Structure 1
Amino acid sequence: MILDAGFLIAVDRGEFTARSFLAAALQEGAVLRTTAPVVAQVWRDKSRQARLAKFLGTVEVHDFTLTDAPVVGELLRRSQTSDVVDAHLVALAFRLLDGILTADTPDFSALTSHLGPRAPHIHPWP
């Protein structure tokens, strides 16, 4: 499962819904992933984000690479959107055949709508 910023914020705040989701994901053996740009969206102060820092140690964090850039740009053109971070999550999910957990389902639906049957499944959060 690819995690968007909203879930990381919920983890950082210690929200019950995030803790419940994590317990279920661990029980199922789910692999949790996010991207470095998503981490940049939510990271503000190491001294106040110990919970988030600890959680990030258990998650696969994928960099934004030069290989990703053309794919992200093409997604943005085809969807007529402009959020590079969201498009990168979609590109990663598409490449890994994984779903996306997000509170921004309309934005992600726009990015995935033209990808056909291999489009990543969008899981609403919370």
Structure 2
Amino acid sequence: MYDAGALIAIDNNDRRMWARHDLALQDGRDIYVPAVVVGQAWRDARRQVRLGRFLASCRVELVGLETAKAAGTLCGKAKTADVVDATVVVMAAALGAIIWTSDPDDIRTLADAADTKPALAIRSIS
């Protein structure tokens, strides 16, 4: 599961992020990106051709009503306001996915509030 920081790294042609992504694909892993995360990172199709190609190799998941409610509830529990990061945590918990993020502290705060068992795996892209 990628957050916006991972997409921004790809858009900036970060070689380490590309390598991680390629290894995950070679390993047969599904790569998930919540659609709202795309909205955080996407600005101009003419300038983000690389990101567009990258997203074609990911499973971009729509956020339904129940997920949105769960993300809002999680924001309340964690006393934060970033509903997009909360959505990443909620969806990763449902899928048992590893979260790749540029903000591991923010994601960890939300993951701790979610109290998912087993604990979510959070990896920093930096």
Give your verdict on TM over 0.5: yes
1:67 aligns with 2:66: yes
* Distance in 1 of aligned mates of 2:112 and 2:37: 22
**Hey, what's the Cα distance between the residues in 1 that align with 2:78 and 2:105?**
12
Listed as ranges, the gaps of 5+ residues in structure 2 are none
Q: Which residue of 1 aligns with 2:5?
A: 6
Given that 1:33 and 1:59 are in contact with CA atoms closer than 8 Å, whether structure 2 keeps it comes out as yes
After TM superposition, the structure 1 = structure 2 runs for residues 73-88 of structure 1, keeping only pairs within 5 Å, are 73-88=72-87
CA shift for structure 1 position 19 = 1.9
* 3-state secondary structure, aligned to 2:33: strand
Distance of aligned partners of 1:5 and 1:80 in 2 relative to their CA distance in 1, 3 Å threshold = same
Instruction: Report deviation, 1:116.
Output: 4.2
> Does structure 1 conserve the Cα–Cα contact (< 8 Å) formed by 2:17 and 2:125?
no
Q: Percent identity?
A: 36
Query: Which runs of structure 1 show a deviation greater than 2 angstroms over 4 or more consecutive aligned residues?
Result: 116-119
Q: How many residues align?
A: 125
Which runs of 5 or more residues in structure 1 are unaligned?
Answer: none
TM-score with structure 1 setting the length = 0.92
Q: Is the 8 Å Cα contact of residues 93 and 116 (structure 2) preserved in structure 1?
A: no
Specify the alignment match of 1:46 in structure 2. 45
Residues 48-75 of structure 1 deviation map (CA, whole Å, 9 limit, x = unaligned): 1111111111101111211112211211
Q: Is residue 118 of structure 1 aligned with residue 114 of structure 2?
A: no
RMSD over aligned CA atoms reads 1.2
- Once residues 92 and 52 of structure 2 are traced to their aligned partners in structure 1, the CA distance between those partners, rounded to angstroms, is 23
